[in-house]
Amino acid sequence: MNQQAMAGIADQGAEFDISALLLEQGKKLLEDRATPQRLRNLLEKPGSFNSALWAEVVELGWPAAAIAENLGGLGLGLRVLCDLAGLAGRYTVSLPIIASAVVAGALANCDKARGELVAAGSTIAALDLCNVGYANDAALQLSGDVVSGTSRGCAFSAVADMLLAVAQAGGELHLVAIDLSHSGVERHIIPSIDNARASARLRFDAVPVLVVGGGAEIEEARLTAALATAFEQLGGAQRCLELACDFARERKAFGQPIGAFQAVKHKLADFYTAIELARGCAFAALEALQAGNAATKQVAAARIAATEAYEFAARETIQVFGALGITWEAPAHHHYRRSRSLALELGASLYWRDLLVDSLAVDLGSS
């Protein structure tokens, strides 16, 4: 069922949960399409992107799910975006649905036409929101309405039509939308541990940009993307737990399942604990963002907890599988690659730890 059909159901007033329908159909699609062989094929070549799967999720309305109706979206909200990101994380598929929602939201008040193209999925979006160092210097320099500099490698930039990035001008940071079809843009594909993320380094030489906001808009975009990514990490971590538990029940050593041994049981219990702690942080951050409250602390905590949970679960799942875990035949290494990739996107844990500490310090100082 495509986006138009879903909108038709809503218009008819049918007693139907469109969000649940979207997730159900998405799960069926990914179960069929995200086969181990297809995932392995994407890992072979740097800059890979599953364009066929992207076309199918566009038909289902994924890019439009969280985007406001006045921009051509379904208006289902941030919760649905997080649920879809979790589903993508579970099946280790790389789809720019988070970037679509963030970019369309940023364009809402300044370029509605472009926002509608993003919502329709015809414009692929990418995000580079953490190219700012601790000295608050951005890698991209804005002069008037053109930008120059080199953007670090970011997911989907190898195939994106538009990039939402941070640029600096006169000591101030600005959120800018960049049309990547301009002749002044150079792409350099980056081999990485997870080639399915379609990463590339972008070089800009006096490329025209659309300034869509300042510090407040940067913060909003970054927090939204980070929270949705935390849910993607949670989806992957939960799948690692299921894979490890299933294997521990089936694999036998010394005449009994390995899950009967304390070393394995305790490891799986640690999986569960880390995931549930991260889930609690993620939902607390989601509630704060949905309520329109200041959510920097909550999102930072969610990002840190989800990163640690997924990396731990992915790493230790390989240990549960033993030698099989590092082979192409097992799905464990897919999750390990993805956990490492997501841990570095939108800022590593150190960045979010510093942000959390600074936010707590401000609160203590004002109390």
Is 152 in contact with 139 (CB distance < 8 Å)?
yes
Instruction: Compute φ and ψ for 241, nearest 5 degrees.
Output: -60, -45
According to the model, what pLDDT value does residue 13 have? 44
Cα separation of 10 and 338, whole Å? 36
Is 160 in contact with 122 (CB distance < 8 Å)?
no
**How many residues in total does the chain contain?**
367
CA distance to 77, 155, 219, per residue, from 331 (Å): 31, 21, 35
Cα separation of 195 and 49, whole Å? 8
| Residue matched to tokens 């906001």 | 213
According to the model, what pLDDT value does residue 324 have? 83
DSSP letter assigned to residue 334: H
| Residue matched to tokens 């985007």 | 67
Cα separation of 147 and 206, whole Å? 5
Cα separation of 236 and 313, whole Å? 9
Q: What angle do CA 271, 275, 276 make, to 5 degrees?
A: 120
State whether residue 163 is helix, strand or coil: strand
According to the model, what pLDDT value does residue 4 have? 53
According to the model, what pLDDT value does residue 9 have? 44
Cα separation of 298 and 260, whole Å? 37
Q: What angle do CA 203, 147, 207 make, to 5 degrees?
A: 70
Write down all domains in the chain, each with its CATH number in brackets. Answer: 3-120 (1.10.540.10), 125-214 (2.40.110.10), 218-366 (1.20.140.10)
State whether residue 243 is helix, strand or coil: helix
State whether residue 332 is helix, strand or coil: helix
Beta strands in the chain (DSSP E): 125-128, 140-143, 146-154, 162-169, 172-179, 185-189, 200-213, 252-253, 256-257
Which residues are bridge partners to 179 per DSSP? 162
Cα separation of 51 and 58, whole Å? 10
Neighbours of 184 (CB within 10 A): 14
Q: What is the CA radius of gyration of the chain?
A: 21
114 burial (CB, 10 Å; 0-12 / 13-18 / 19+) is buried
Is 240 in contact with 338 (CB distance < 8 Å)?
no
The rounded average pLDDT for each run of 10 residues, N- to C-terminus, in the chain (367 residues) is 50 62 93 89 92 95 90 90 97 96 91 91 92 59 93 91 93 93 94 94 95 92 96 98 95 90 94 97 96 91 97 95 82 93 92 91 77
